[in-house]
DNA sequence: CGGTCTCTTGAGCAGAGTCAATGAACGTGG
DNA sequence: CCACGTTCATTGACTCTGCTCAAGAGACCG
């Protein structure tokens, strides 16, 4: 099951997939808000999301939080710890879920000796960096409505890509405070901007489910171009 | 000379360094503001900075620019293009300088077959991603004075690490507009905040040379912690 | 049923942006 | 060596986006 995720995304041969699947791993259940990685900690394993969602975050000394990326099923949680000795940020579970953990030495060995798997994980890492750059552009240079619309577009596209059912609506289980932390805004302002997008006829909401009434309009409001997701190479 | 850079930073053995140095490469002279990589372009080579500075940037549809990272001598310019088919951002020269270009297929081969070199470039990539995360925190959650102080701290530490002479002062050849684009601010505001840091007794300036009168104060104002640079692993 | 977390909304404030004008520095060609 | 044009830095006046503080309403849970 775990190899399915990777194989699906990275065009591995059966043999390579088998080699990846042969890695000893542990499935672990996690609860919303659990810490999966802590900054400054020395990591021992690499994990990826099997079910549910996680996010990476960093804190200022004043305790202000910035969410720097979201992980959905199939995404690695801490590939950065594969070769770095000390974690440079925190990872928390957004929802209850399931993660698969692999011991770092074993994964290092496979990555450095099996070119196909090595390449697949290189690509995953490079795409993650690309998303970070787009988030920097989003937070640094777009106004609040565009930022929010951009997040909604990105999450929808990524979820659709891993086979989750996104038609006109989808569930994004983030609180408005978490959305604010991901966008460099306050929860109060997120609330107001959500209602603005609603009023503009782009989305409507019920609980944490978003109905997108006008995808084109939303994309346009977001200045969204999916090139940075490198969908053809996942 | 080019292998010196990499070897220095990544503890390679003589043999590995020789193998890296054996890669065919081309030295190319670049002028300030030249584009080295363009978004949506299909890359053919990977380059690193030998002399001078470069930066990565992305644009919104409205033409607003966000600089997402800076490269100093020894840094790769487009390692992301090693495995991604289409570039997702632009790279420009900040100053006149010199870059070394390596053909992608040759570099791919070495990276996937020589574990020591592979690991060294993995680490470089992961550190770059870590810097992107810190920049997100910086832009998303810190006020203008802290943001600016943070950039000044980061550049000083990185330059010192590659052996550039930083005592109490150093040259950062960015215009105030470029600084603004790196921090998600306008050049006007950068100007005002620079004078504020000056007034607070943290720095003084002459042209683009910064004299740091109070390193501890600057670090504190910046909420700067160099962990994210993973200096022990460069 | 009470407690907690989240969402909503209003009023007032402030950090950063916009617009505009002036001056300093620098490179170029005559 | 100087005149000129361009780019960059500086400053003021005014605006506005997004923040702070605060309070109330739902929703959910034990």
What is the rounded radius of gyration, in angstroms, for the C-alpha atoms of chain A?
Answer: 18
Q: Calculate mean pLDDT across residues A54-81.
A: 96
Whether residue B21 has pLDDT greater than 80: no
Whether residue A128 has pLDDT greater than 60: yes
Q: What is the pLDDT of residue A10?
A: 60
Q: What is the pLDDT of residue A6?
A: 56
On whether the CB atoms of residues B86 and B42 are closer than 8 A, the answer is: yes
Tens digits of residue pLDDT in B144-180:
999 999 999 999 999 999 989 888 899 999 999 999 9
Is the Cα dihedral B126, B132, B138, B140 positive or negative? negative
Enumerate residues 188 to 207 of chain B having a beta carbon within 8 A of any beta carbon in chain A. none
Whether residue A200 has pLDDT greater than 50: yes
3-class state of residue B85 by DSSP = coil
- Nucleotide at minimal C1' distance from the A141 CA: C17
Least Cα separation, residue B19 to chain A (angstroms): 16
Whether residue A165 has pLDDT greater than 90: no
Identify each DSSP E strand in chain B by its residue range: 25-30, 35-37, 45-51, 54-59, 65-71, 90-93, 97-103, 169-171, 203-206, 209-212
Whether residue B86 has pLDDT greater than 70: yes
Q: What value does the mean pLDDT of chain B take?
A: 92
Least Cα distance to B201 among B181, B178, B221 occurs for: B221
Least Cα distance to A88 among A135, A131, A134, A38 occurs for: A38
Share of chain B above pLDDT 70, in %: 95
Only one residue has tokens 């891993």, namely A162
Q: Calculate mean pLDDT across residues B19-23.
A: 78
Q: What is the pLDDT of residue B11?
A: 65
Full strand arrangement of the beta sheet holding A45-51: A25-30, A97-103, A45-51
For residue A69, the chain B residues in CB contact (below 8 A) are 133
On whether the CB atoms of residues B106 and B23 are closer than 8 A, the answer is: yes
Tell how strand A45-51 and strand A97-103 pair up: antiparallel
Tell me the pLDDT band of B16, cut-offs 50, 70 and 90. confident
Contact between chains at B64 and A136 (C-beta distance less than 8 A): no
- Asked if strand C contacts A141 at the CB level, meaning under 7 A, the answer is no
Per-residue exposure over B80-104, b if at least 16 CB sit within 10 Å of its own CB, e if not: bbbbbeebbbbbbbbeebbbbbbeb
Tens digits of residue pLDDT in A95-124:
999 999 999 999 999 999 999 889 999 999
Distance, first Cα to last Cα, chain A: 18
φ, ψ of residue A74 to 5 degrees: the values are 100, -20
CA B154 / C1′ D17 distance in Å? 29
Contact between chains at B133 and A183 (C-beta distance less than 8 A): no
φ, ψ of residue A36 to 5 degrees: the values are -100, -25
CA A187 / C1′ D21 distance in Å? 14
CA A29 / C1′ C11 distance in Å? 46
CA A18 to chain centre: 25
Least Cα distance to A173 among A162, A161, A182 occurs for: A182
Long-range CB contacts (within 8 A, 24+) of A167-175? A168/A211, A168/A212, A168/A213, A169/A209, A169/A210, A169/A211, A169/A212, A170/A209, A170/A210, A171/A208, A171/A209, A171/A210, A172/A208, A172/A209, A172/A210, A173/A53, A173/A94, A173/A95, A173/A208, A174/A94, A174/A208
Whether residue A1 has pLDDT greater than 70: no
Instruction: Tell me the whole-structure pTM to 2 decimals.
Output: 0.95
């Amino acid at each position: 099951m775990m190899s399915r995720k990777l194989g699906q995304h990275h065009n591995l041969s059966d043999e390579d997939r088998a080699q990846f699947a042969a890695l000893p791993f542990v499935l672990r259940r996690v609860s919303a808000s659990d810490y999966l990685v802590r900054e400054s900690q020395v990591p021992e394993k690499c994990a990826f999301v099997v079910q549910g969602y996680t996010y990476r975050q960093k804190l200022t000394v004043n305790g202000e939080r910035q969410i720097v990326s979201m992980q959905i099923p199939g995404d690695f949680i801490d590939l950065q710890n594969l070769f770095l000795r000390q974690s440079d940020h925190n990872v928390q579970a957004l929802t209850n879920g399931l993660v698969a953990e692999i011991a770092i030495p074993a994964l290092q060995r496979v990555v450095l000796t099996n070119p196909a798997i090595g390449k697949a994980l290189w690509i995953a890492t490079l795409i993650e960096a690309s998303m970070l750059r787009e988030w920097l552009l989003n937070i640094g240079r777009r106004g609040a409505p565009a930022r929010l619309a951009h997040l909604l577009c990105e999450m929808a596209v990524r979820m659709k890509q891993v086979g989750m059912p996104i038609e006109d609506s989808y569930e994004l289980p983030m609180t408005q405070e978490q959305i604010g932390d991901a966008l460099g805004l306050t929860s109060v302002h997120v609330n107001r901007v959500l209602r603005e997008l609603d009023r503009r006829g782009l989305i409507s909401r019920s609980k944490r489910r978003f109905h997108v009434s006008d995808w084109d309009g939303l994309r346009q409001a977001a200045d969204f171009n999916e090139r940075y997701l490198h969908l053809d190479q996942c």
